[in-house]
């Protein structure tokens, strides 16, 4: 088995998930200039709701794929409502407040969501039922299973749809207009609040998809899963250039690769001193290094602050 190739495969799978979550960060940032700190928790809620749906439907005798689809629709619906609610309650009243204020309400929201989830679903790890086929294939020396293939394909499809939506539809044009210049967009008759709400809902729906993907891939769901995932996805968004959709996709994939290659080779590189349990460190190092050397990210433009 080829370790390099295997790590690349793993990295791409993980990276697709990061990319989907990163899109949620980047869309909100592009429009509001705000880090939606609670986004990671939306991913977690998506996974949890899907879990509950699959458990409820387990005895129904429906085919697994149908169950999964119903679970997906439900959790996307719940997450969209959640995203809408978060924006209305925690961000909209603070739109003209100092920058740090919405960041702090966002932290508050994620604490609340995490603890509510803990109350509903408990502290323990839950097994996510295997609803997708998971036979494994050999691909040029690397092992990949059906779930992983599906994850990558779905992620690509969702991203393609999103790009079409943003660049080819009226709604997308309104979103870009608001991102570019909110007051001008308002003068042109764009309903800014509507666009912002839709953006949050779109991002949250993507988060639901991502949540189900991670759960299906690892087979495990946990109330704390959103925090670190969200942080890494944010890193991915920054890496690609925050506010930039293609950047978020690229950043997600890159971060997935960096992490899995890093974890695969750190042992060899450090002479066995560091092991793969340092995997989580890579994302943060990448984040710090990117922000120091290229704060605008790989695909972002430099913008000077106006004086």
Partner 1 sequence: MTAANNVLLDLSGVGKRFGGLAALSDVSLHIRRGEIYGLIGPNGAGKTTLFNVVTGLYQMDDGQFTFDGIAYDRCKPHVLAQAGIARTFQNIRLFANMSALENVMVGRHLRTRAGIWGALTRNAGARAEERAIVKRARDLLHYVGIASPHQTLAKHLSYGEQRRLEIARALATDPKLLALDEPAAGMNATETESLKALLQTIRASGVTVLLIEHDVKLILGLCDRVAVLDYGRKIAEGVPEEVRRNPAVIAAYLGGEAA
Partner 2 sequence: MRNVPDSLLRHDKRHAWIAFAALAIMLLALPFATDALLGRGWVRIVDFALLYIMLALGLNIVVGYAGLLDLGYIAFFAVGAYCYALLGSPQFGLHWPFWIVLPLGALLACVFGVLLGAPTLKLRGDYLAIVTLGFGEIIRIFLNNLNAPVNITNGPQGISMIDPVRIGGFSLGSTHELFGLTFPSVHLYYYLFLCVTLLVIFVSLRLEDSRIGRAWMAIREDEVAAEAMGINTRNIKLLAFAMGATFGGAAGGLFAGFQGFISPESFGLTESVMIVCMVVLGGMGNIRGVVLGGVLLVLLPEALRHGAGPAQHALFGKTLIDPESLRMLLFGLALIVVMLVRPAGLWPSTQRRRELSPDEDVVHQEQDTVYDSSK
Ligand X SMILES: Nc1ncnc2c1ncn2[C@@H]1O[C@H](COP(=O)(O)OP(=O)(O)OP(=O)(O)O)[C@@H](O)[C@H]1O
Give me the residues that bind ligand X (CB under 6 A), please.
Answer: 304, 306
Binding mask 247-286 for partner 1 (x = CB under 8 A): ----------------------------------------
Q: Which residues pair with 264 in a beta bridge?
A: none
List the beta strands (DSSP E) in the chain.
Answer: 126-127, 136-139, 142-145, 220-221
Q: How far is the CB of 227 from partner 2 (least distance, A)?
A: 7
- Residue 304 touching partner 1 (CB under 8 A): yes
Q: Which CB sits closer to partner 1, 170 or 306?
A: 306
Tell me which of partner 2, ligand X, partner 1, none is bound by residue 99, counting a contact when its beta carbon lies within the kind-specific cut-off of 5 to 8 angstroms: partner 2
Q: How far is the CB of 98 from partner 1 (least distance, A)?
A: 10
Query: Can you tell me whether residue 240 is helix, strand or coil?
Result: helix
Q: How far is the CB of 184 from ligand X (least distance, A)?
A: 13
Nearest residue to 7 via CA among 155, 147, 146, 142: 142
Q: How far is the CB of 304 from ligand X (least distance, A)?
A: 4
Q: Where are the alpha helices (DSSP H) in 87-191?
A: 100-121, 146-168, 170-180, 182-187
DSSP code of residue 273: S
Q: How far is the CB of 306 from ligand X (least distance, A)?
A: 5
Q: Which CB sits closer to partner 1, 187 or 303?
A: 303
Q: How far is the CB of 99 from partner 1 (least distance, A)?
A: 14
Q: Which residues pair with 143 in a beta bridge?
A: 138
Nearest residue to 170 via CA among 146, 142, 195: 195
- Residue 238 touching partner 2 (CB under 8 A): yes
Residues 32-71 that bind partner 1 (CB under 8 A): none
- Residue 273 touching partner 2 (CB under 8 A): yes
Radius of gyration of the chain measured on its C-alpha atoms:
19
Q: Which stretch binds partner 2 (CB under 8 A): 143-151, 204-212, 256-264, 279-287?
A: 279-287
Q: Cβ distance 57 to 126 under 8 Å? A: no
Please, what's the b/e burial string for 20-38 (b: 16 or more CB within 10 A of its CB; e: otherwise)?
A: bbbbbbbbbbbbbebbbbb
Q: How far is the CB of 307 from ligand X (least distance, A)?
A: 8
Determine the straight-line distance between the first and last CA of the chain, rounded to whole angstroms: 57
Q: Which stretch binds partner 2 (CB under 8 A): 10-18, 181-189, 201-209, 223-231?
A: 223-231
Q: Which CB sits closer to partner 2, 13 or 283?
A: 283
Q: Cβ distance 49 to 59 under 8 Å? A: no
Q: How far is the CB of 264 from partner 2 (least distance, A)?
A: 17
Looking at 93, 133, 141, 194, which residue binds partner 2 (CB under 8 A)? 93
Helix, strand, coil shares of the chain as percentages rounded to 5? 75, 5, 20
Q: Cβ distance 225 to 204 under 8 Å? A: no
* 226 CB-side CA count, 13 A: 29
Looking at 1, 100, 138, 307, which residue binds partner 1 (CB under 8 A)? 307
Q: Cβ distance 53 to 235 under 8 Å? A: no
Residues forming contacts to partner 2 in the complex (CB under 8 A) are 34-35, 89-90, 93-94, 97-105, 107-116, 118-119, 123, 227-228, 231, 234-235, 238, 272-275, 277-278, 280-281, 283-285, 287-288, 291-292, 295, 305, 307
Residues forming contacts to partner 1 in the complex (CB under 8 A) are 301, 304, 307
């Amino acid at each position: 088995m080829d370790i390099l190739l295997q790590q690349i495969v793993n990295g791409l799978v993980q990276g697709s998930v990061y990319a989907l979550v990163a899109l949620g960060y980047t869309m909100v940032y592009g429009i509001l200039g705000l880090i939606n700190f609670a986004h990671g928790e939306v991913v977690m809620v998506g996974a949890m709701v899907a879990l509950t749906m699959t458990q409820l439907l387990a005895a129904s005798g429906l085919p697994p794929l149908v169950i999964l689809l119903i679970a997906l629709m439900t959790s996307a619906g719940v997450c969209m409502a959640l995203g809408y609610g978060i924006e209305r309650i925690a961000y909209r009243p603070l739109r003209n407040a100092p920058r740090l204020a919405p960041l702090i309400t966002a932290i508050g929201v994620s604490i609340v969501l995490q603890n509510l989830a803990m109350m509903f679903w408990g502290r323990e790890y839950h097994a996510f039922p295997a609803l997708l086929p998971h036979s494994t294939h050999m691909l040029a020396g690397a092992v990949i299973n059906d779930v992983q293939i599906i994850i990558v394909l779905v992620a690509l499809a969702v991203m393609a749809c999103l790009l079409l939506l943003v660049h080819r539809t009226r709604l997308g044009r309104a979103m870009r207009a608001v991102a570019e210049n909110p007051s001008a967009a308002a003068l042109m008759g764009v309903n800014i609040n509507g666009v912002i709400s839709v953006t949050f809902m779109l991002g949250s729906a993507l988060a639901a998809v991502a949540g189900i993907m991670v759960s299906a891939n690892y087979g495990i769901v946990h109330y704390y899963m959103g925090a670190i995932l969200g942080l890494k996805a944010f890193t991915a968004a920054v890496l690609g250039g925050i506010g930039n959709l293609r950047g978020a996709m690229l950043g997600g994939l890159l971060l997935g690769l960096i992490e899995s290659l890093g974890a695969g080779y750190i042992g060899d590189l450090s002479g066995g001193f560091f092991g793969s349990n340092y995997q989580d460190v890579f994302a943060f190092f990448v984040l710090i290094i990117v922000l120091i050397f290229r704060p605008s990210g790989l695909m972002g433009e430099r913008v000077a602050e106006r004086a």
